[in-house]
Amino acid sequence: MPAVTETRETVEKLAKSSYEWGFETDIEMDIAPKGLNEDTVRLISQRKGEPQWMLDWRLKAFRAWLEMEEPTWAHIHYPPIDYQDAHYFAQPKKKPGPKSLEEVDPELLRTYAKLGIPLHEQALLAGVEGAEERLPIAVDAVFDSVSVATTFRKTLAEAGVIFCPISDAIREHPELVQKYLGTVVPVADNFFGALNSAVFTDGSFVYIPEGVRCPMELSTYFRINARNTGQFERTLIIAEDRATVSYLEGCTAPQRDENQLHAAVVELIAMEDASIKYSTVQNWYPGDDEGRGGIYNFVTKRGICRGARSKISWTQVETGSAITWKYPSCVLAGEGSVGEFYSVAVTNNHQQADTGTKMIHLAPNTRSTIIAKTISAGKSDSTYRGLVRMQPKARNARNFTQCDSLLIGDQCGAHTVPYIESRNMTARVEHEATTSKISEDELFYCRSRGLSEEDAVGLIVNGFCREVLKELPMEFAVEAQKLLQISLEGSVG
Amino acid sequence: MSDFLKIQGLQARIDADGTPKDILKGLDLEVPKGEIHAIMGPNGSGKSTLSYVLAGRDDYEVTGGSATFKGQDLLALDPEERAALGLFLAFQSPVELPGVNNANFLRTAVNAVRRARGEAELDAVAFLKAVRAETKHLSMSDDMLKRAVNVGFSGGEKKRNEVLQMRLLQPSFAILDETDSGLDIDALRIVAEGVNSLRSPNFSALVITHHQRLLDYIVPDRVHVMAHGRIIHSGGPDIAKTLEKQGYTQFLEAAA
């Protein structure tokens, strides 16, 4: 049997082992009835104790959404989503703050344990008083739709950094939220973005004041935890002049029978000489080996480099979800600003991914780099879709794009769809693309050195993704390699 | 053990665009423990096929005969099991692994083999110490450890990297498939030295070559002449010199 066939079968076998983090936490929930109408939007706004302007904003988005059509241009296929057949609000019932871990709902702790969250961090997440010791990462855990705990607010507050659930920010920092929310992704930007704007229930808010280098990596663990609860996260990150921040987003989800809709919106704003690094490791439940279940992940992520010499860098490792529809983008409005997109997308079984980026060069001397690595296995289908646009004022702007696809087996597909629009003669755009398979030669060479086939595939895949993985913060690099293992096979690295 | 490597009546074929093509046609060969044997033969005689079949490459179909190594049925084992058992193949054309750090690759391989042999794995420090000693021995720059496996390596560097792997994996039986091809005389000397220094009563090797030149540096105990998928003549090291002067014709005629 040729080695590649064997590899495929090994991959398939491993994929059959049940999703490691597929479990469901049984915590009393406060759930809104199914369905989506203006009353749902009002209910959400009321439950979150929002001011009138926020409700008005949501309603504007909702009315826009009603007029919009679900996009069909992506290379993905799924049965029609019944937006009325889902809950749009679920909140764990509030209990008084526990004094120690013993008092924390054991179900919650078990969830954290399965996610591999260290014990001291669990205490923080569970809101145990006095648990705020020195930790390298601040975690704003989004446990279902509501942040169960926000940590390090004090430490960060001393640096002038605001890091809190966006619902808190709406109440406590209305002037900032009103000033920036929807300025990068307007309410009527796109179908899923508008839906998110109408019904988002939580997310993170980050504000880094002028000249401040955020003293720690900011991190969010996302969990989708209630049956049929659409998860609509809203994240807003603002870095003022010369501010620097690195934000980590990591996600796991419990196993489900029915598809779950996830439509997040992330907005980044970088002012003069500011720098935002946004890293994602996503491993939501991809569905079973027949493609049943799994998360529908329709995400709008966009950043704007408003100030001169500002920089926004997206790094993502996407291994999960049944469907991924995601294009983290950069609008380069400040002269000499820099946009980066580093991506690894892995699909297996019946997973579908249509992902990429948009680099919109508005100002002179702007630069962008796109490195996209796509790995397809099983019967999955993966598309890189990217747009590089050089506007008339983008004098001497430069882009470099590299898209590499790696195929495992002969039943998967990889597609590259680059759009390049240049309206400035001095702008330079480079695009390189390759498609390859893991060759028999590579596998045999590794195995003849004693590596198992799984280790060999892991090593080769890891090598293939190296340019992207090295962009991840240390905290995430290990997790990302773990995910590549789980998604494909064998030990990586 | 007299039956160190024993091959009897080995037949193998490859699928050539849909038509099976027989390459090994009843090959017999024995290499006792502690001996170094050379195989010489014209192009297309099946020398590389033999090395691939012994190492376990699965696009060759074994259609008859047997091969045992240390008393085990070699042909029933996966390539990695053969490596753990002590078999090593130095490739004629070493494969490039883009993005895979050479040091990381070497360490993963060494520890995979050590694990399979029931030995303790080397930690990063111990490994680095071991590998540095070897690279120095082979006149390799540390830079080659930092680069991706064989990517951008010159022909000579690739061959040295093969010998480096061989020395780190400590095989009891090494097959060198035309390791001398593309080497200048200095590199040849270094590579030969790398093999010779492994010589011991517990180490055997099969050196496949076109040229007498390599055998000036690695002096074999026996030389086998291979043609048409079989060993057609065996003898002492002198055969190589005869071949160098007179070519394969006399052996081919004698075998016909």
Q: Going by C-beta distance under 8 Å and a sequence separation of 6 or more, which residues neighbour residue A219?
A: A137, A138, A139, A140, A247, A248, A249, A250, A475
Residue with tokens 């919109």: A360
Q: How far is CA A142 from CA A26, A139, A367, A417, in A?
A: 16, 9, 34, 34
CA distance B250 to chain A (A): 36
Give long-range contacts, CB 8 A cutoff, 24+ apart: B197-200.
B197/B137, B197/B167, B198/B166, B198/B167, B198/B174, B199/B36, B200/B34
Contact A463 B58 (CB under 8 A): no
Share of chain B above pLDDT 90, in %: 64
pLDDT tens, position by position, for chain A (493 residues)? 344 444 445 444 444 444 454 444 555 556 777 788 888 899 889 888 899 999 999 999 999 999 999 888 888 888 888 888 877 876 655 444 556 666 665 655 655 555 555 555 555 555 555 444 434 455 555 544 344 344 466 678 889 999 888 888 999 999 999 999 999 999 999 999 999 999 998 788 999 999 999 987 887 654 444 444 457 889 999 999 999 999 988 755 444 545 578 899 999 999 999 999 999 888 777 777 676 778 888 999 999 999 999 999 999 988 878 888 999 999 999 999 999 999 999 888 888 889 999 999 999 999 999 999 998 888 888 899 999 999 999 999 999 999 999 888 788 888 899 999 999 999 999 999 988 888 889 999 999 999 988 888 888 888 888 888 888 877 677 667 766 766 664 322 2
Q: Is the dihedral of CA A475, A479, A484, A490 positive or negative?
A: positive
3-state secondary structure chain A: CCHHHHHHHHHHHHHHCCCCCCCCCCCCEEECCECCCHHHHHHHHHHCCCCHHHHHHHHHHHHHHHHCCCCCCCCCCCCCCCCCCCECCEEECCCCCCCCHHHCCHHHHHHHHHHCCCHHHHHHHCCCCCCCCCCCEEEEEEECCEEEEECCHHHHHHCCCEEEEHHHHHHHCHHHHHHHCCCCCCCCCCHHHHHHHHHCCECEEEEECCCCECCCEEEEEEECCCCCECECEEEEEEECCCCEEEEEEEEECCCCCCCEEECCEEEEEECCCCEEEEEEEEECCCCCCCCCCCEEEEEEEEEEECCCCCEEEEEEEECCCCEEEECCEEEECCCCCEEEEEEEEEECCCCEEEEEEEEEECCCCCEEEEEEEEEECCCCEEEEEEEEEECCCCCCCEEEEEEEEEECCCCCEEEEEEEEEECCCCCEEEEEEEEEECCHHHHHHHHCCCCCHHHHHHHHHHHHCHHHHCCCCHHHHHHHHHHHHHHCCCCCC
In a domain, A90, yes or no: yes
Residue with tokens 């691939």: B52
In a domain, A478, yes or no: no
In this prediction, residue A249 carries a pLDDT of 83
- What CA–CA distance (Å, rounded) separates B227 from B233? 9
Tell me if A307 sits within 8 A of A241, measured CB to CB.
yes
Nearest chain A residue (CA) to B91: A445
Contacts of B101 in chain A (CB under 8 A): 463, 466
Q: Is the dihedral of CA A155, A161, A165, A167 positive or negative?
A: positive
Tell me if B187 sits within 8 A of B156, measured CB to CB.
yes
Q: Does A437 touch chain B (CB under 8 A)?
A: no
Tell me if A258 sits within 8 A of A294, measured CB to CB.
no
Number of domains in chain A: 1
Tell me if B156 sits within 8 A of B184, measured CB to CB.
yes
Domain range for A236 is: 29-438
Contact A450 B84 (CB under 8 A): yes
Substitution target in B95, B102, B105 with the highest count of A β-carbons within 10 Å is B95
Question: Shortest CB distance from B169 goes to which of A3, A440, A450?
Answer: A450
Contact A463 B94 (CB under 8 A): no
Question: Shortest CB distance from A447 goes to which of B80, B99, B110?
Answer: B80
Q: What are phi and psi of A314, to 5 degrees?
A: -100, 130
Residue B122 is classified by DSSP as: P
Q: Does A388 touch chain B (CB under 8 A)?
A: no
Contact A445 B95 (CB under 8 A): yes
Contacts of B102 in chain A (CB under 8 A): none
Q: Name which residue leads in pLDDT, B87 or A255.
A: B87
In this prediction, residue A191 carries a pLDDT of 94
Q: Going by C-beta distance under 8 Å and a sequence separation of 6 or more, which residues neighbour residue B63?
A: B11, B12, B13, B22
- What CA–CA distance (Å, rounded) separates A396 from A387? 18
Question: Shortest CB distance from A442 goes to which of B88, B97, B101?
Answer: B97
CA distance A490 to chain B (A): 13
Can you tell me the ipTM of this complex?
Answer: 0.95
Contacts of A467 in chain B (CB under 8 A): 99
Domain range for B181 is: 5-255
Contact A451 B109 (CB under 8 A): yes
CA distance B224 to chain A (A): 25
Contact B100 A459 (CB under 8 A): yes
- What CA–CA distance (Å, rounded) separates A237 from A226? 27
Number of domains in chain B: 1
In a domain, A257, yes or no: yes
Contact A448 B98 (CB under 8 A): no
Contact B82 A452 (CB under 8 A): no
Where residue B100 sits, what CATH number does that domain have?
Answer: 3.40.50.300
Contacts of B109 in chain A (CB under 8 A): 446, 449-451
Contact B109 A453 (CB under 8 A): no
In this prediction, residue B187 carries a pLDDT of 81
In a domain, A18, yes or no: no
